[in-house]
C-alpha cells in the first residue's frame, strides 16, 4: 500500500520466511530543492516467536544515479539523507531530484511469524545547518 502527501510517503508490507533473501522496492518522487530525506522504518516482530534469533531487515537507497547507501542498523530515531551529515552508510552529497527507490531487504525472516513493516519517507526543503 502506498499513500503520499505533499512531502511524505508511507509504505506498508508483510514478509514471510519465503521472502528471506529478497528485496522489495518502494519508489517515490523527490522534487528539486529538497534538502533532507528522513526515513522512519519499523517492523514487528523483531524476534521470531519461540526463537532467540531476530528477523533481519535492512534498507538500501537508490537516487536517480544509482546506489546511495545502505542502512543496516535500523534505529528508532530514523535515518537522514542529505548533503551534509547523512546517517552512516549513506552518502552525503546533494540530493538529486527525480525518482528514488528504497529497497526493503529481507535478509532473514524466521517462521512461524509474518513480519509486518511500515516505512515513512519525509522530504524537507528547510536549510541545513551544522551544529
Question: What CATH number does residue 43 fall under?
Answer: 2.60.120.380
131 in any annotated domain: no
* Domain span at 111: 2-124
85 in any annotated domain: yes
Lowest pLDDT segment from 2-11, 61-70, 95-104: 2-11
For the chain, how long is the longest CA-to-CA vector? 48
129 in any annotated domain: no
94 in any annotated domain: yes
71 in any annotated domain: yes
Q: What pLDDT is recorded for position 128? A: 86
Q: Give the chain's domain count.
A: 1
Predicted confidence (pLDDT) per residue in 107-131, tens digit: 999 999 999 999 999 999 999 877 6
User: Rounded to two decimals, what is the model's pTM?
Assistant: 0.90
Q: What pLDDT is recorded for position 92? A: 96
Q: Which of 35, 26, 98 is nearest to 65 (CA)?
A: 98
What percentage of the chain exceeds 90 in pLDDT? 86
CA atoms within 13 A on the CB side of 72: 8
Q: Cα 21 to chain center, whole Å?
A: 16
For the residues 26-49, what does the mean pLDDT come to?
96
Amino acid at each position: 500500500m502506498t499513500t503520499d502527501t505533499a512531502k511524505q510517503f508511507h509504505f506498508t508490507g508483510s514478509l514471510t520466511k519465503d521472502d528471506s533473501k529478497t528485496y522489495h522496492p518502494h519508489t517515490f518522487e523527490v522534487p528539486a530543492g529538497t534538502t533532507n530525506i528522513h526515513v522512519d522504518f519499523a517492523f514487528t516482530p523483531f524476534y521470531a516467536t519461540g526463537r532467540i534469533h531476530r528477523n533481519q531487515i535492512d534498507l538500501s537507497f537508490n537516487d536517480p544515479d544509482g546506489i546511495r547507501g545502505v542502512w543496516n542498523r535500523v534505529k528508532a530515531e530514523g535515518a537522514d539523507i542529505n548533503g551534509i551529515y547523512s546517517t552512516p552508510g549513506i552518502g552525503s552529497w546533494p540530493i538529486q531530484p527525480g525518482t528514488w527507490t528504497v529497497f526493503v531487504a529481507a535478509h532473514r525472516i524466521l517462521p512461524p511469524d509474518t513480519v509486518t513493516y511500515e516505512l515513512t519517507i519525509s522530504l524537507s526543503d528547510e536549510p541545513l545547518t551544522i551544529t
